[in-house]
Amino acid sequence: MEKNLKTLLIKHGVMLKKAYGQNFLTDDSLLAEIVEKAGVTKDDTVLEIGCGAGALTRELANKAKRVVGYEIDTRLKPVLEETVGEFDNVNIVFNDVMKEKLSDVESGLDNDYIMVANLPYYITTPIIMRFLEHAKGIRRMVIMVQEEVALRLCATHGTADYGAITVGINLRGKASIIKRVPREMFSPPPNVDSAVVRIDIEEGKFEGVDFNAVRSVVRCGFSSRRKMLVNNLMNGFKLSRAQAEQSLESASIPLTARGETLSAQDYVNLTSVLKQVVKNLGE
């Protein structure tokens, strides 16, 4: 398949662009495994971000009811026409997915859709955060990311990899690494290894919580990792030491805690306490 990819790209005069994160997958069994582990069935609509030469798109088209793909690079139009043009359940939008309104992206998808993507590395975090925070109809994300990012997405609180994005995931669902993928599996190979992460959105998790407010507390919690949470709260929300300590105590959080030692539930508890003390929290 790698040879086919090269032939295809040469035929259409396409030189891959590093700036777009164009590291393509060619191994058919790996592609099949990703789609299988994504749990895609004939009832599912799939959103693929970054179709590339269409290797993953083809595999998805064979398993899903419908695939909506986004691809920024219009030079890949004739390539994709050749690789997935025969499928009438595939629709590719040639645009920068980050420039599309999320509501427009979602209006083209059925509710409960699944995102499956070998994400362009340079916008991995913004894509994940955007869908986690604002997508309404998403049920699952199965995404190839750099291994270092995968470790952050799936980290446990209290570890060095745990960060604001981990809390963001835990507020809406849970993440796990389902496959490690060495760099040699890509064409061309990037400088680092990758991993496929599955994020399952749990409907109703933390129902009724003011997520904007929680997010500002999380941002504050991680604003200076070297400082204790009490200091970050004082600086971030202009609280006196007594107010910050009282808030932590009311949320049953040790006064010596740091941002990375709090679970998503701790952040939710702390937010509800801080809402009594900090005016317009999260607005």
Query: Interface with ligand SAM by CB under 6 A: which residues?
Result: 20-25, 49-52, 55-56, 70-73, 96-98, 118, 120, 123
State which residue, 148 or 202, has the beta carbon closest to ligand SAM: 148
CB of 230 to ligand SAM, least distance (A): 40
- Rounded to 5 degrees, φ, ψ at 15 are -100, 130
State which residue, 83 or 247, has the beta carbon closest to ligand SAM: 83
CA distances from 10 to 75, 80, 84 (A): 12, 14, 18
The single residue listed with the structure tokens 């086919």 is: 4
State which residue, 146 or 232, has the beta carbon closest to ligand SAM: 146
User: Is 16 in contact with 182 (CB distance < 8 Å)?
Assistant: no
Q: List all residues 6 or more positions away from 184 whose beta carbon is below 8 Å from its beta carbon.
A: none
CB of 51 to ligand SAM, least distance (A): 5
State which residue, 67 or 217, has the beta carbon closest to ligand SAM: 67
Instruction: Give the separation between CA 24 and CA 4, rounded to whole angstroms.
Output: 12
Closest residue to ligand SAM in the complex (CB): 50
CB of 15 to ligand SAM, least distance (A): 12
State which residue, 36 or 203, has the beta carbon closest to ligand SAM: 36
CB of 193 to ligand SAM, least distance (A): 14
CB of 64 to ligand SAM, least distance (A): 14
